[in-house]
Amino acid sequence: MTDLLTATMARVVRADIQGLHAYAVQPSAGFVKVDTMENPHPLPPALQQALGERLGRVAIHRYPAERGDDLKAALAAHAGLPAGCSLMLGNGSDELITLLSMACALPGAVFMSPLPSFVMYGLSAALQGVRFEGVPLTADFELNEAAMLAAIDQHRPALLYLACPNNPTGNLWDEAVIDRIVDAMARHQGLVVIDEAYQPFAARDAMHRLGRQPHVLVMRTMSKFGLAGVRIGYLMGASALIAEIDKLRPPFNISVLNAEAALFALAHADEYARQAVLIREQRERLFRALQDMPGVHPWASQANMVLARVPDAAATFAGMKARGVLIKNVSALHPLLANCLRITVGTPDEVTLTLAALRASL
Ligand code: PMP
């Protein structure tokens, strides 16, 4: 049996897939979980109960239909989608990245992003057999404009991902530099995907580009807003372009329960906005405390995480884990991230615990 399985897999599964590693999630039960940029605040009990009652009335014996359309309309209103543009839903923005990659995976195509950035850009290119070109950021994680423009001229990427703010660095790149990169992509007739996963915590967004720059797509997620478990991402752009990418979407990719929960959350957007304010306050507290720690160098963040360099990231990560605090050691992701740790902003109590564990582990 095992021999048959091995032989069959070797014959039918693409060799390049067999050589890849799956997206890894570290086990987190029992830890202060500050590793994956979740919103640490649950809904207040009264809202939890109201949500439960609403979910209890959902017609789960039917395929999803109208609620997906209702959710698209509610998200379009929430984001301020301009005329001539449309919005499509993904099972998290991860699925949208996959669909974009599938849509643009022409033979010889190149996808690009600055590095370090969100790992799924490169991984989803690899999954489609598309060449991925990463362009290193500067040592302070700013866009290297000259290198980006040269790489765009050289490779004419079909897709360029710009995470604004960026993960895992947390910073928001200079808007004038982004403008020039967006213009260069227009000259080469390539698409720019502005990934605004962390927009709820940032001082600016890219919605003004929609309707004006037809080769720009803006991608968002409800994950960092407070619904990481619900899996709703959305992609916005010129209607004709969204219609093409939407053809690749699996039918019924958004569960009726997910759509209902997301509609509920949007109806209570004020509660989530309050939580985002708290998170931004705690981000500044975390950043300042990190600045005051000898040997620690944090970078200013516009997201709900702070990246910091420490003398020995592996030892500090292990020490914090032993003290019950789970962060992310991103050192191995890219040479520029040597000895860097990414710390998600928790509740005020979680930030206190995180800082104490960090001080004890340095
Ligand atoms: N984009 C960026 C920049 C991210 O950091 C993440 C998740 N960490 C995602 C997209 C994916 O988010 P989701 O699939 O939860 O919508």
In the reported structure, the alpha carbon of residue 200 is separated from the centroid of ligand 1 by a whole-number distance in angstroms of: 13
**Separation CA 323–CA 127 (nearest Å):** 37
Neighbouring-strand partners of residue 329: 341
Looking from the CA of residue 233, the nearest atom of ligand 1 is 16
Q: Above 70 in pLDDT, residue 343?
A: yes
In the reported structure, the alpha carbon of residue 197 is separated from the centroid of ligand 1 by a whole-number distance in angstroms of: 6
Looking from the CA of residue 221, the nearest atom of ligand 1 is 16
What is the pLDDT at residue 1? 62
Nearest alpha carbon to residue 38 among 337, 259, 276, 253: 276
**Separation CA 285–CA 291 (nearest Å):** 10
Token pair belonging to 278: 């708290």
Per-residue pLDDT reduced to its tens digit, 67-92: 899 999 999 999 999 999 999 999 99
Residue nearest to atom 2 of ligand 1 (CA): 197
Per-residue pLDDT reduced to its tens digit, 41-63: 999 999 999 999 999 999 999 99
What is the pLDDT at residue 25? 86
| 3-state SS class at 74 | helix
**Separation CA 72–CA 78 (nearest Å):** 10
What is the pLDDT at residue 23? 80
Neighbouring residues of 280: CB distance < 8 A, sequence distance ≥ 6: 201
Looking from the CA of residue 93, the nearest atom of ligand 1 is 16
Looking from the CA of residue 232, the nearest atom of ligand 1 is 16
- From 39, 99, 167, give the residue whose CB has the most ligand 1 atoms within 8 Å, as the site to mutate: 167
Q: Is the pTM of this model over 0.90?
A: yes
In the reported structure, the alpha carbon of residue 92 is separated from the centroid of ligand 1 by a whole-number distance in angstroms of: 7
**Separation CA 280–CA 258 (nearest Å):** 26
Over residues 216-221, the mean pLDDT reads: 98
Over residues 121-148, the mean pLDDT reads: 97
Nearest alpha carbon to residue 324 among 28, 34, 32: 32
- From 160, 173, 221, 305, give the residue whose CB has the most ligand 1 atoms within 8 Å, as the site to mutate: 221
In the reported structure, the alpha carbon of residue 318 is separated from the centroid of ligand 1 by a whole-number distance in angstroms of: 25
In the reported structure, the alpha carbon of residue 174 is separated from the centroid of ligand 1 by a whole-number distance in angstroms of: 21
Neighbouring-strand partners of residue 162: 194
Looking from the CA of residue 36, the nearest atom of ligand 1 is 8
What is the pLDDT at residue 8? 95
- For residue 226, the 8-state DSSP code is I
Structure confidence at residue 65 as a pLDDT band (50, 70, 90):
confident
Provide residues with CB under 6 Å of ligand 1: 37, 92-94, 118, 163, 167, 195, 197, 221, 223, 228, 233
- What domains are there in the chain, each with its CATH number? 26-43+270-361 (3.90.1150.10), 61-267 (3.40.640.10)
171 exposure class (CB count in 10 Å sphere: 0-12, 13-18, 19+): buried
Token pair belonging to 158: 């079909």
- From 26, 88, 94, 124, give the residue whose CB has the most ligand 1 atoms within 8 Å, as the site to mutate: 94
- From 33, 93, 97, 199, give the residue whose CB has the most ligand 1 atoms within 8 Å, as the site to mutate: 93
Residue nearest to atom 12 of ligand 1 (CA): 93
Q: Above 90 in pLDDT, residue 126?
A: yes
In the reported structure, the alpha carbon of residue 93 is separated from the centroid of ligand 1 by a whole-number distance in angstroms of: 6
Over residues 115-133, the mean pLDDT reads: 96
What is the pLDDT at residue 202? 98
Token pair belonging to 334: 């890219």
**Separation CA 131–CA 122 (nearest Å):** 9
In the chain, % of residues over pLDDT 70: 100
Residue nearest to atom 5 of ligand 1 (CA): 167
- From 96, 123, 223, give the residue whose CB has the most ligand 1 atoms within 8 Å, as the site to mutate: 223
Dihedral (CA of 21, 22, 28, 33) sign: positive
